[in-house]
Amino acid sequence: MTKILEMYKCNVCGNIIEVVLPGEGELVCCGQAMEKLQEHNKREEMVGEKHVPVIENTDEGIKVKVGSIPHPMEKEHYIMFIEVNSNDKRFVKRKYLYSQEEPVLNLKCSCDKVIARELCNIHGLWTSDDEQS
């Protein structure tokens, strides 16, 4: 069974989809089952220092930047989007990015706790929450 906000990728054509309404069926593209994108976080050893979203509370709201050290934003390696979700996953704000654009999302809100995600075109889906930052 799929869950809301899960992401899946087709390993043939590269399509990426996100679950809006959960269901029982298998997600298929190009005649093959789609691969569920696993969410990595800073508790993992991979390349987290460049990928884990860093959540900062500011006077204006919330600022999310990608990585504690700057992530490259090149044509071949870049952050595709940054997203902020409320803890209950009822509210979602996503900013799509282009190469050469600074990987930062500023959000005017007063949420108690949020979850941030970002998708790197090479290293996949990364997540963090207020407690990890």
CATH number assigned to the domain comprising residue 53 = 2.60.40.730
Tens digits of residue pLDDT in 36-62: 999 998 765 555 578 899 999 888 889
Kindly state whether residues 48 and 108 are assigned to the same domain: yes
User: What is the span of the domain harbouring residue 13?
Assistant: 7-36
pLDDT classification of 89: cutoffs 50, 70, 90: confident
H or E, element range at 126: strand 124-129
What is the pTM assigned to this prediction? Answer: 0.87
pLDDT at 94: 95
66 and 11: one domain? no
Return the closest-CA partner of residue 51 out of 62, 41, 43, 63: 41
pLDDT tens-digit profile of 100-112?
Answer: 999 999 999 877 7
| Domain assignment present for 53 | yes
Q: Which residues are 128's β-sheet partners?
A: 116
**Residue 104 host element (H or E):** strand 104-107
56 and 20 share a domain?
Answer: no
Same domain, 27 and 62: no
